[in-house]
Structure 1
């Protein structure tokens, strides 16, 4: 526990010197895509030619982990299983069989102690491992690798999951009940590019809930952990390879994912599955400044104002929410533009959350490029 606290990103800050050590440089200020998405050798969208059953998307992360283990590249995978208590809760595990790797499919949208299984790998004297985690896990791992000799002698590969808006574990069921008509059968959920929350159920059906029609009480920043509201590495910029969905085209009956190869180790991981992928270039228009500016006043106000209570009523009727979502999915940012919008939205929200609620952490947590992005919108620092 004490080691984790010493290496915690909320003690050491996001990115900065850590990014420079990994890549030999910081982000280029004249490259707006790199400023948002981090340093990468290659970016593209893709899906598996033969998607894995029960995977949240097509199963690229799980397949990479399979191939790394089967090829002998790694001896174990530090990852998460679903808790027996709740299918959305996590249980850290060192997966050392294909069956254990399979069982890690699907997101767990609560804070998760992934690196706890790192201790198991060390005790078992493994020399080659794969770690699958969110940005906060990868940041701590990078610090561990510098501080502890037993990790310096271990070959470690990392797959980064984009991560934001995890919720307090003790509030998750309360939140799900306010989102879904059938919370007991929900098995996957994600805020998608059509401005709806997609909730997949155990019978295979997908419930789509307009973001605009959620109860006002779900807009309370207090339902999210302070650590997540102070995150400035949405796209897991210190991983060897990041696999998410933000810039992928949303199409019926397809589950395209967004892949960012960041390091040579990431290239090796991608090579394991290259022949199994159908690849597509990034699509969409980059510019979304006007769309962002329409929301900034509301974002800043909601971070500054700490309301005593939030209404349990929906913001707007569901049918109106579906209409708004459809209109925005037609006229709003798509592909690379949606990724641009989503990253900037969260950077702005989190900057003002820290500024107004944890001002003493502002200089510690905020990377230099975030302030540059705020200045693009002429927002006060």
Structure 2
């Protein structure tokens, strides 16, 4: 616990020197794409030609981990399994067999102590390790690697997931019950590019809930942990390779995922399965300024409210929500435009969350590129 606090991003800040140490430089403030997505060697969308059964989408992260294990690039994986009592709850695990790695597939949208298994790996004498985690985990890991000689003796590969809106485990059942008609059968959940939440159930059915039709009480920032609302590394910029969905075209039958290769280690991981992928270039129009500005004012206003009673009723009826989602899916940003919009939305939201609640932390927490992005929109600092 003491070591984790010493290396926590809320002590050391997001990105900045950590990015410089990993890449030899910080992201270019004159490059609008690199400012949002971080430093990369290559970016593309891809599908696994043979998707893994039971994976959240196609299973690229799990397949990379399995392949790295099969070809002896690594000896074990620091990751998460689902708990027996809840599909969405997680438990940290050091996966040392192919089956244990395979069992780690699927998103767990609750706060998770992934790095708890790092000490187990060290005590077992493992020298080649893969760590799969969110940005906060990998920031801590990078600091651990610098501070502790016993980790410097390990060769560590990292796969990052884009992450921002986790839920406290105690509150998750309450949140899921307000999202889904059948919370007990839900097994996968994600906010998607069609402006709907996709909830996959144990019978294979996918329930789609428009963002606009969520109960008003789910608009309360307090349902998210303070740490997640203060996150400024949505796209996991210190990972060797980041895999998500934001800039991938939404084709449910293809389960496309977005791959951001950041380091040579990341290239090693993706190259090992490249012949198993069908790859596509990034698509979509970059510009989304009008779309961001349409939501910025309301977003900033909601971050200023620190005490409010929210209604349990839906914001708008489901049928109207589906119409709005359909219109935005056609007319709104797509591909890299959607990734641009989603990144900027979260950076704006979190900047004003911190400014209103923890103004003394602004200098420490907020990376320099966030202010450049706010200036693009002429938003007050």
Matched, 1:232 2:232: yes
SS at match of 2:125: coil
Counterpart mapping for 1:56-95 below 5 A:
56-95=56-95
Runs of 4 or more consecutive aligned structure 1 residues displaced over 3 Å after TM superposition: none
2:174 alignment partner in structure 1 = 174
CA shift, 1:361, in A, is 1.0
1:270 alignment partner in structure 2 = 270
Counterpart mapping for 1:1-381 below 5 A:
1-381=1-381
CA shift, 1:307, in A, is 3.1
CA shift, 1:326, in A, is 0.2
CA deviations 1:231-254 (Å, max 9, x no partner) are 000000000000000000001412
Structure 2, unaligned runs of 5 or more: none
In 2, the alpha carbon distance for the partners of 1:38 and 1:252 equals 27
In 1, the alpha carbon distance for the partners of 2:9 and 2:110 equals 18
SS at match of 1:170: coil
CA deviations 1:138-185 (Å, max 9, x no partner) are 000000000000000100000000001101211100010000000000
Structure 1, unaligned runs of 5 or more: none
TM-score w.r.t. the length of structure 1 is 0.99
In 1, the alpha carbon distance for the partners of 2:70 and 2:252 equals 32
CA shift, 1:29, in A, is 1.3
TM-score w.r.t. the length of structure 2 is 0.99
CA shift, 1:360, in A, is 1.4
In 1, the alpha carbon distance for the partners of 2:333 and 2:155 equals 40
CA RMSD, 1 decimal: 0.6
CA deviations 1:4-25 (Å, max 9, x no partner) are 0000001100000110110111
In 1, the alpha carbon distance for the partners of 2:39 and 2:341 equals 18
CA shift, 1:229, in A, is 0.3
In 1, the alpha carbon distance for the partners of 2:99 and 2:58 equals 18
CA shift, 1:55, in A, is 0.4
In 2, the alpha carbon distance for the partners of 1:168 and 1:340 equals 27
In 1, the alpha carbon distance for the partners of 2:216 and 2:306 equals 14
CA deviations 1:207-259 (Å, max 9, x no partner) are 00000000000000000000000000000000000000000000141200000
In 2, the alpha carbon distance for the partners of 1:108 and 1:238 equals 21
